[in-house]
Amino acid sequence: MALVPELGGSVAFFRKRGHKGLVDLMRPLSEAARSNRDPMGVAMFPMLPYANRIANNRFDFEGRTYEFDPNIPGQRFNLHGTGWTSAWRAATATADAAKMTLDHLAPGEPYAYSAYQRFQLLADRLRVELGIVNRGVRAMPFGFGLHPWWPRHSEVKLRFHATHFWLESPEHLTTDCISIPPELDFSQSRSLPDSWRNNCYSGWDGLAEILFPSSKVGMRIEADPSFGHLMLYCDPAQPVFCLEPQTHASGALNRLDRERAGDLGLAILRADESIAGVVSFRAFPLE
C-alpha cells in the first residue's frame, strides 16, 4: 500500500502479491491525477466530517442555518466534506502501519475538527481506523466513510445484505427510502448493474464481498456497527465502480428537521467530543 497524505489523506494503491506478481485490488492513482492533484483519481479517500451531497449547499440544525460552497469543479453541490480536499500530515509510518492526521480549523466554515486515519497492513487485509473530534464551540452532526475505487470487469460480482434503498433525483440528491425490490437486492451474489446506479443502502450489516474472477481474487469488506450504510456508484461507461462504507445515510444532513440524527446514522458531537470506527478490507483467493 502507498499513501498520499498531501492529496486528501488518500491511498495511492493497494495491491496483493500473488504467484503471478502484483494485483491491484483498488484502482491505482495515475501519474496524471497525481500531477493535477485530483482526489477523484486516487485509490481511496476519506469522507468526513460527512459523506455525499448537501442539497442546496445548506442545512439547518438547532436553530441555525449552515451554508457551504461547492468544493469540486463541475459539481453544483458540496460533496464529501473537506477531508478529501485537504492536505493531511503523516504522523507515523512503519513497514506495515501508518497514521495520518488533519486539523481543519478554518475560520468562518461550519465545521472545525481534528481527524486521524490509522492504517495497518496484516497478512491478508488492510485495517483502517478513522476518528474525528469536534473542535468547534457548538454541537454539530458528524459522520464519515471511506470511498474506494474498485476496478470494473464484466464478470465482477457483489454480495451484501441491507434492508432499505434510497432513490436518487436527477441532480444526484437522495429522495425517498424504500424497501429493497428484488432487482436491487444484492443479498445473493450478482453481477454489477448494467445501468447507472448512485444509491445508498441502509440497514447494512457491515459485511460485503466483491469477486474479481479474472484476477482470481476476492475482497471482503468488514465494518464495525457504526457503519450502517453502503453507497453503490456504478456507471457502465467507466472502468471503475465504488462500494463505500459510511456511518450515515446519503442526504442525512438535509433530513435533520424531520428525522432523528441517530436514525440517520449521524453523531451529534459537542465541543471536544469524538467518534471513531474501523473498516477492514480482506483479500482472499478465488479458485
Residues 228-259: tens digit of each pLDDT = 999 999 999 999 999 999 999 999 999 999 89
**Domain 2-285 part of CATH 2.70.98.10:** yes
Average pLDDT over residues 164-175: 96
Number of other residues whose CB lies within 10 A of the CB of residue 274: 15
Confidence at 18, pLDDT banded by 50, 70, 90: confident
The residue whose grid cell reads 488492510 is: 126
Which pLDDT score is estimated for 287? Answer: 79
pLDDT above 80 for 19: no
Which pLDDT score is estimated for 102? Answer: 98
Question: What confidence tens digit (pLDDT) does each residue in 185-234 have?
Answer: 999 999 999 999 999 999 999 999 999 998 999 999 999 999 999 999 99
Average pLDDT over residues 143-169: 96
Cβ(34)–Cβ(41) below 8 Å: yes
Number of other residues whose CB lies within 10 A of the CB of residue 209: 18
CB burial of residue 239 (10 Å; 0-12, 13-18, 19+): exposed
Confidence at 154, pLDDT banded by 50, 70, 90: confident
Average pLDDT over residues 178-189: 96
pLDDT above 80 for 20: no
Helices marked H in the chain: 31-35, 261-264
Question: What confidence tens digit (pLDDT) does each residue in 34-90 have?
Answer: 999 999 999 999 999 999 999 999 999 999 999 999 998 888 999 999 999 999 999
pTM above 0.85, yes or no: yes
pLDDT above 80 for 24: yes
